[in-house]
């Protein structure tokens, strides 16, 4: 733990424009920890320094989740995540050329970015530092704010103090939320002003390069009344020999009548341990949709809580995972219907090959007074190998009487009969599997009205199926 404890020194000053400070801070990193020196530099305001310190205290006092707890029963972090061995990413290893935003983007990330057909803006994040931020000028002129999180803090926007790690993903959300709130280095702040509707998505393209490191990123999106935005958060990395942690906190606020669509494309390499805490807060008549795509990394754990806070609020929650080798994906979702007349619909589908493991635990909670709630939850799994396993645990907690809720879960096998049927038409085994998997997962992508993402995910699945190199 001692190495991680020193992370905030560099975290505080990881702004892209602040190269000198990053290096200055990191040279001290082994000597301090956040509890003794919260914030550490002049760059951060008092509120943040004390928020980090409180979060760090919580982190230290919160035990590591154990498999004895229901929510972590199938993901043994004590075994899978060697916290004591993780180090903060060292910025100088990324090279000043990349860190100041002018340098070459790593090739795999560049290729992934080239697949994106259109963007209204883009943030490039390398090893937990936003090194480049671009936004269409016309949008900036309309008051859209897209910036690195560190820059947003410096700008003094009062939204940061009121919303960062407070109402959505506070440190009190658990060990890893506390860890992120204490140690985050950078991330994205996006604000869409009232009535501004973006036609094209904003993208975050993330890359992690150093094995054995831990990276902490936060995304904060606020869509004011009747605004609209799509945000695609894609992360890639090379394969790692050592476990490499990426801890992401995603805080999404949609105000009255606004629409937010958040898409996470997790495409890390082997050794990647992806942890995400996502919370969506949807006010009256707003739409807050999410899609979590998990294809990469060795372990992926996503905690997603959708809160329907106003009548007429709506959340479509989609998930898609395709695991092979010994990949382990664990989704822990909850749909909190606080207000009446709200709607949420969750569909998570996963295909698992080789010895891959999928875990889905989902709960619909209809709070007292949330009458006329419409809430659905479906998890379907397709096993492509006898060694693959899926666990599905849907749940309902209903404290209102006038509701429509359903949940369902299935685990099916790609059986020999289906395979033979396809092969008897001339497809080889791989082609047959590809068709079945894409057909199975396609139901999720069909519900996503975002062309570029569908193609990218389809391509990525095909690569995993060994058809496209």
Partner 1 sequence: MNDKAVLSVTGLRARVAEEDLDILRGVDLTIRPGEAHAIMGPNGSGKSTLAKVVAGHPAYEPTAGAVVFQGEDLLELEPDERSQAGIFMAFQYPIAIPGVSIANFLRTALQARLGDDEELDLFDFQELLMERMELLDMDPSFAQRPINDGFSGGEKKRNEILQMAVLKPALALMDETDSGLDIDALKVVAQGVNTLRKENPDMSVLLITHYQRILNYIIPDVVHVMYKGRIVESGGPEVAMELEARGYEEYRIAHAV
Question: What is the contact surface with partner 1 in residues (CB under 8 A)?
Answer: 416-418, 420-429, 431, 435-436, 438-443
Q: Which two tokens stand for residue 448?
A: 């996503």
Q: Cβ of 312: how many Cβ atoms within 10 Å? A: 18
Q: Cβ of 113: how many Cβ atoms within 10 Å? A: 16
Pick 114 or 416: Cβ nearer partner 1? 416
Pick 363 or 438: Cβ nearer partner 1? 438
Helix (H) or strand (E) holding 464: helix 451-464
* Interatomic CA distance for residues 37 and 56, integer angstroms: 11
Pick 198 or 383: Cβ nearer partner 1? 383
Pick 158 or 426: Cβ nearer partner 1? 426
Q: Which two tokens stand for residue 30?
A: 């082994």
Pick 117 or 467: Cβ nearer partner 1? 467
Pick 1 or 423: Cβ nearer partner 1? 423
The CB-of-320 to partner 1 minimum distance in angstroms stands at 12
Pick 343 or 434: Cβ nearer partner 1? 434
* Interatomic CA distance for residues 304 and 327, integer angstroms: 20
Helices (H), 172-260: 175-183
The CB-of-463 to partner 1 minimum distance in angstroms stands at 16
Q: Are 173 and 277 in contact (CB under 8 A)?
A: yes
Distance, C-alpha 78 to centroid of its chain: 21
Distance, C-alpha 13 to centroid of its chain: 23
The CB-of-431 to partner 1 minimum distance in angstroms stands at 6
Which SS3 state, helix, strand or coil, does residue 454 take? helix
The CB-of-291 to partner 1 minimum distance in angstroms stands at 17
The CB-of-434 to partner 1 minimum distance in angstroms stands at 8
The CB-of-322 to partner 1 minimum distance in angstroms stands at 14
What torsion, rounded to 10 degrees, do the Cα atoms 49, 178, 248, 287 define?
-100
The CB-of-423 to partner 1 minimum distance in angstroms stands at 4
* Of 280, 288, 417, 283, residue with least CA distance to 341: 283
């Amino acid at each position: 733990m001692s190495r991680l404890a020193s992370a905030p020194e560099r975290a505080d000053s990881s702004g892209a424009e602040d190269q000198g400070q990053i290096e200055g801070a990191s040279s001290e990193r082994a000597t301090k920890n956040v509890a003794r020196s919260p914030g550490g530099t002049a760059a951060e305001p008092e509120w943040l320094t004390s928020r980090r310190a409180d979060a760090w205290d919580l982190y230290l006092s919160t035990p590591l989740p154990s498999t004895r707890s229901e929510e972590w029963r199938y993901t043994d972090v004590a075994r899978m995540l060697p916290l004591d061995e993780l180090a903060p990413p060292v910025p100088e290893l990324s090279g000043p050329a990349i860190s100041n935003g002018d340098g070459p983007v790593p090739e795999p990330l560049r290729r992934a970015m080239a697949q994106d057909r259109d963007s209204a803006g883009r943030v490039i994040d390398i090893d937990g530092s936003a090194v480049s931020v671009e936004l269409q000028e016309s949008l900036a002129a309309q008051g859209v704010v897209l910036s690195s999180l560190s820059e947003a803090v410096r700008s003094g926007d009062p939204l940061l103090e009121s919303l960062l790690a407070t109402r959505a993903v506070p440190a009190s959300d658990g060990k890893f939320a506390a860890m992120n709130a204490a140690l985050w280095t950078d991330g994205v702040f996006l604000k869409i002003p009232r009535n501004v509707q973006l036609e094209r998505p904003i993208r975050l393209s993330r890359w992690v390069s150093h094995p054995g490191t831990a990276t902490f990123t936060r995304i904060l999106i606020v869509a004011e009344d009747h605004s609209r935005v799509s945000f695609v958060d894609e992360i890639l990395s090379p394969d790692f020999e050592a476990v490499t942690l990426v801890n992401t906190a995603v805080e999404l606020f949609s105000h009255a009548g606004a629409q937010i669509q958040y898409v996470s494309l997790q495409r890390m390499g082997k050794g990647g341990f992806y942890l995400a805490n996502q919370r969506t807060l949807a006010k009256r008549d707003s739409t807050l949709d999410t899609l979590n795509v998990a294809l990469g990394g060795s372990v992926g754990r996503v905690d997603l809580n959708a809160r329907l806070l106003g009548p007429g609020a709506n959340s479509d929650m989609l998930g898609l995972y395709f695991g092979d080798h010994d990949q382990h994906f664990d989704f822990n979702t909850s749909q909190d219907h606080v207000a009446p007349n709200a709607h949420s619909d969750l569909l998570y589908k996963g295909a698992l090959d080789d010895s891959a493991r999928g875990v889905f635990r989902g709960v619909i909670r209809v709070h007292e007074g949330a009458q006329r709630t419409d809430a659905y939850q479906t998890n379907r799994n397709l096993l492509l190998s006898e060694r693959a396993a899926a666990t599905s645990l849907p749940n309902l907690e209903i404290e209102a009487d006038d509701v429509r809720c359903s949940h369902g879960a299935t685990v099916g096998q790609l059986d020999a009969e289906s395979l033979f049927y396809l092969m008897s038409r001339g497809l080889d085994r791989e082609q047959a599997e590809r068709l079945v998997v894409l057909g199975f997962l396609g139901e999720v992508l069909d519900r996503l009205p975002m062309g570029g993402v569908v193609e990218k995910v389809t391509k990525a699945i095909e690569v995993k199926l060994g058809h496209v190199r």
